[in-house]
């Protein structure tokens, strides 16, 4: 289907929309928080240890981590607790290597800068922990987050009017959990997942009607990266699988066995390349855990495949997807309003999202512990943008005036983004518990009476005294944990 068939009037130029998205991203870089914290310690350790030490020894990363992380894992003498080691003698880093692969161009540039600067007389620690490295890491995360939004926008724009695709992209960008992990916790993997899934879906759809063997190979490369970054992303491999099975069935009915043989060769190439790209993950599992299919606590937890948490994931006060980020409820609803030309792609996206939802519903830590909203669903950013854009387009049909429809939709999006920004502030400043359920009456009260009073002061501190502010928040977090320790 030709993209031009679904675009709106020439006044909404795709080039202008892309420039607007780029401008918004550049302005948003003021929010970058170059910090390695929590789960991010494990993700960043792969990049730092390989770049600086050329090995997978993560002891220094555990010692340099934020106070709560390091105190829970080290002894009074500074040595790591024996419980932190696996049977192979390596620190049990269960996180994925994919983000480190994506960070590598940024960190290599930072390392080169540090070495050259030191040769010219500077004294910057070339250890991976100093400011240039952390800035490069944070910039890399934000870049991949932006590219994920851009590819999501391109996918939506193919089937939905330009204005609605653009507005949906900006709205999901600001009113979901993505900004927390794109700017404030950049060492975590979720923005990278949004990018990897968006790129995979965009390229899969772009080549869907007549994919060559070479394009299958490129898709296999993206598939391997998809899983390298975050294991649950692998559910999206269902899409080319279903596509291929339907094609095989069609060939069988037509008795076109030559076509089926060509597709089989392409599928085999896809699978081989995907496995090859996944090898870095398998190597880390072998070195750290002693086997290529050993994944640390992920494989040791009691997963319940009856998906007992399917309601809680959506509606719980403890990081429920819809209760914390209500725009995503509208996005899911939008998937049921697909125009005729978008019904096929919407069905595929719905199947992928449903499979992902089932997987997380079976995970005992479905709530994400210290999460803003349900961070596990950030990889579905493309699906959410697509669904919300369809909902906006259907809403726009109700009005005779396109300008009025857009103005009302933009006002709704502004409200959702503003609400989310205040909610993020409450969560980040620990006005509400970072872990466990929250009181939504308290959240609402804070939104109107506390956030407006504190936001400007805290924003100035974030921009000009960020390190001290982060330390205050860390201390507050530790105090809250002492009063209300997490359940074992």
- Which residue is it, tokens 């060509």? 262
Closest CA to 172 of 394, 427, 382: 382
| Gap between the Cα atoms of 97 and 26, Å rounded | 27
- Report the pLDDT value the prediction gives residue 463, as an integer from 0 to 100: 80
- Measured in residues, the chain has a length of 488
State the Cα angle at 361 between 324 and 381, rounded to 5°.
50
Using left for φ > 0, alpha for ψ between -120 and 50, and beta otherwise, residue 325 falls in: beta
Distances, alpha carbon 147 to alpha carbons 134, 316, 381, 394, 421, in Å: 20, 31, 12, 27, 21
- 165 contacts: CB under 8 Å, gap ≥ 6: 17, 153, 156, 157, 385, 389
How does DSSP classify residue 209? S
- Is residue 463 classed exposed, middle or buried when 0-12, 13-18 and 19+ CB atoms within 10 A define those classes? exposed
User: pLDDT tens digits, residue range 31-77?
Assistant: 999 999 999 999 999 999 999 999 999 999 999 998 888 888 999 88
State the Cα angle at 173 between 168 and 179, rounded to 5°.
170
List % helix, strand, coil for the chain (3-state, nearest 5).
Answer: 70, 0, 25
How does DSSP classify residue 309? T
The number of helices, as runs of H, and strands, as runs of E, in the chain is 22, 0
Domain positions in the chain are 3-483
- Report the pLDDT value the prediction gives residue 486, as an integer from 0 to 100: 54
- Report the pLDDT value the prediction gives residue 422, as an integer from 0 to 100: 96
- Report the pLDDT value the prediction gives residue 2, as an integer from 0 to 100: 40
User: pLDDT tens digits, residue range 280-294?
Assistant: 999 999 999 999 888
pTM of the model: 0.94
- 456 contacts: CB under 8 Å, gap ≥ 6: none
Closest CA to 190 of 372, 436, 388: 372
- Report the pLDDT value the prediction gives residue 462, as an integer from 0 to 100: 83
pLDDT in tens, the chain (488 residues): 344 433 444 456 788 999 999 999 999 999 999 999 999 999 999 999 999 999 999 999 999 998 888 888 999 888 999 999 999 999 999 999 999 999 999 999 999 999 999 999 999 999 999 999 999 999 999 999 999 999 999 999 999 999 999 999 999 999 999 999 999 999 999 999 999 999 999 999 999 988 999 999 999 999 999 999 999 999 999 999 999 999 999 999 999 999 999 999 999 999 999 999 999 999 999 999 999 888 777 777 889 999 999 999 999 999 999 999 999 999 999 999 999 999 999 999 999 999 999 999 999 999 998 899 999 999 999 999 999 999 999 999 888 777 889 999 999 999 999 999 999 999 998 899 988 999 999 999 999 999 999 988 888 888 878 777 777 777 777 776 666 665 44
- Report the pLDDT value the prediction gives residue 484, as an integer from 0 to 100: 63
Phi, psi of 294 (to 5 degrees): -105, 125
């Amino acid at each position: 289907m030709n993209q031009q068939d679904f675009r709106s009037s020439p006044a909404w130029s795709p080039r202008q929309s892309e420039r607007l998205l780029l401008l918004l991203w550049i302005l948003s870089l003021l929010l970058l928080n170059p910090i390695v914290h929590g789960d991010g310690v494990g993700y960043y350790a792969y990049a730092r240890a390989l770049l600086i030490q050329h090995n997978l020894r993560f002891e220094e990363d555990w010692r340099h981590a934020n106070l709560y992380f390091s105190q829970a894992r080290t002894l009074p003498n500074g040595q790591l607790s024996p419980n932190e080691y696996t049977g192979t003698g390596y620190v049990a880093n269960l996180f994925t290597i994919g983000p480190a692969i994506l960070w590598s161009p940024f960190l290599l540039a930072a390392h080169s800068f540090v070495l050259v600067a030191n040769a010219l007389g500077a004294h910057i620690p070339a250890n991976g922990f100093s400011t240039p490295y952390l800035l490069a890491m944070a910039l890399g995360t934000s870049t991949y987050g932006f590219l994920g939004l851009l590819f999501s926008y391109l996918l939506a724009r193919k089937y939905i009017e330009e204005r609605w695709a653009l507005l949906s992209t900006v709205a999901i960008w600001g009113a979901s959990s993505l900004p927390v992990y794109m700017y404030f916790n950049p060492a975590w993997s979720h923005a990278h997942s949004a990018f990897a899934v968006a790129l995979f879906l965009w390229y899969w759809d772009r080549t869907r009607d007549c994919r060559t063997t070479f394009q299958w190979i490129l898709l296999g490369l993206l598939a391997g990266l998809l899983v390298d970054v975050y294991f649950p992303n692998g559910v999206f491999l269902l899409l080319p699988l279903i596509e291929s099975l339907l094609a095989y069935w069609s060939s069988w009915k037509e008795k076109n066995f030559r076509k089926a043989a060509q597709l089989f060769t392409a599928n085999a190439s896809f699978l081989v390349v995907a496995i090859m790209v996944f090898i870095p993950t398998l190597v880390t599992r072998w070195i750290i855990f002693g086997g290529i299919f050993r994944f640390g606590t992920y494989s040791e937890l009691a997963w319940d495949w009856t998906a007992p948490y399917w309601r809680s994931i959506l509606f719980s006060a403890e990081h429920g997807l819809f209760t914390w980020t209500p725009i995503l409820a509208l996005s899911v609803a939008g998937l049921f309003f697909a125009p005729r030309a978008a019904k096929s792609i919407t069905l595929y996206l719905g199947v992928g999202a449903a499979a992902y939802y089932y997987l997380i519903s079976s995970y005992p830590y479905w709530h994400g512990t210290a999460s803003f909203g349900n961070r596990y669903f950030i990889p579905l950013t493309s699906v959410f943008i697509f669904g919300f854009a369809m909902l906006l387009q259907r809403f726009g049909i109700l009005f005779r005036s396109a300008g009025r429809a857009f103005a009302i939709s933009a006002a709704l999006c502004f409200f959702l983004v503003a609400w989310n920004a205040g909610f993020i502030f409450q969560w980040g400043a620990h006005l509400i518990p970072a872990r466990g359920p929250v009181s939504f009456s308290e959240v609402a009260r804070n939104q109107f009476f506390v956030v407006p009073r504190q936001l400007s002061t805290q924003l100035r501190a974030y921009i000009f005294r960020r390190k001290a502010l982060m330390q205050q928040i860390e201390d507050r977090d530790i105090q809250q944990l002492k009063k209300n320790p997490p359940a074992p």
